Homo-oligomer: A and B are copies of this chain.
């Protein structure tokens, strides 16, 4: 299996002025081609360090893809360094120098001579045309090693990779890598891990857990000659995981619990309403982030004060007096209130202490979430254990409320 390394060039990267999205884009593309990436690195616009890193990379890997440093200015030296290290000459490409002149002429602006640097191309290299800018890319092959240089701007690199580099790399590819996820809410990462621990030693497909603040993902990754074959390798593993974990699995190949909730509501032709205290707007925001949610989301009430809880949601003063705003009873009455006021088919509610810190009696990170369809009400108590992490507590509380809606819609709580 061919091994590839990604080497990004640019002082602006090392200063943190820009986020490097090329690495992820190239990594994904190479994984799809079944080419392994074992190492990535970034250096500044410094030819000595670039040459050092390029030689080190060629010592470890079959293919090195660089991005950046192909522009017209004096500090753009990636092409020159790649050619020197691989022993390729540069020569002017007349057609390209005319094209660059034409590019400026068409825009009626003066062309600095330095731009013609971009018309120097490696003799004997495979050139990749740039349809979204002026600097072409190229591949240099010698002695079983391959260096590919690509432009830095993502708007030039991405189409060049898709249009030219992907096809060029096919000869280095032996198969494809496919990933699927199993999506879980309501069970912590380490408990999930314990239940499927024996699978973590598998080789093809591999199984690995990811913690996504309030959710857990198990990622199943297979390598095979074709996508269909990779899918066939994954399928029994996914089934086995779902069997072992049961109702905490809300789906596969999803990103967020709200995707599942909106899909269920649409399938069943039902509408939802929300009543929130501590999560304050998170539920409507997350539900309406999902395309198609306007058909199923009816209304949301953020009742931060007790007054509003009574006035808009009809929570009784006795409940608030006796049990407090952060209680099972209040969560229950908030959900029932939202259902009644909105006329929606189901309603969910949240009340809790998002932190930082508690209120002197109850700890930060304690919350109650409820769901009702008018007949039945279910309440869940949540203790996140993150006393001070307001953002986390709000997110997890909302996730668990959405999960209750999911369980009710799936008829999994009775």
Contacts and interface: CB of A to CB of B under 8 A. Distances in A.
Contacts of A358: none
Given A106-B383, A285-B281, A298-B305, A20 B20 contact: yes
Looking at chain A's contact residues, the main secondary structure is mixed
A297 B221 CA distance: 46
A43 interface: yes
Contacts of A44: 38
Contacts of A132: 386, 389, 392
Contacts of A226: none
Contacts of A107: 383-385
A30 B42 CA distance: 16
Nearest to A305: B298
A48 to B, nearest CB: 11
A8 B41 CA distance: 10
A14 interface: yes
Interface stretch (A205-213, A238-246, A316-324): A205-213
A73 B193 contact: yes
Interface string A1-32: 00000000001111111111101111111110
Interface in A319-356: 341-343, 356
Interface stretch (A108-116, A227-235, A400-408): A108-116
Interface of A: 11-21, 23-31, 37-44, 46, 49, 53, 56, 71-75, 103-104, 106-112, 114-115, 131-132, 153, 155, 177, 179, 188-191, 193-194, 200, 208-211, 213, 219, 221, 274, 276, 280-289, 291, 294, 297-305, 307-308, 311-312, 341-343, 356, 383-386, 388-392
17 contacts: A13-B24, A15-B177, A16-B31, A20-B20, A20-B23, A38-B44, A38-B46, A39-B41, A41-B41, A73-B209, A75-B208, A115-B190, A155-B391, A281-B285, A284-B302, A294-B304, A301-B302
For the complex of A and B, 10 pairs with smallest distance between CB atoms: A16-B27, A16-B28, A281-B284, A300-B302, A281-B281, A281-B285, A280-B288, A41-B41, A299-B308, A284-B302
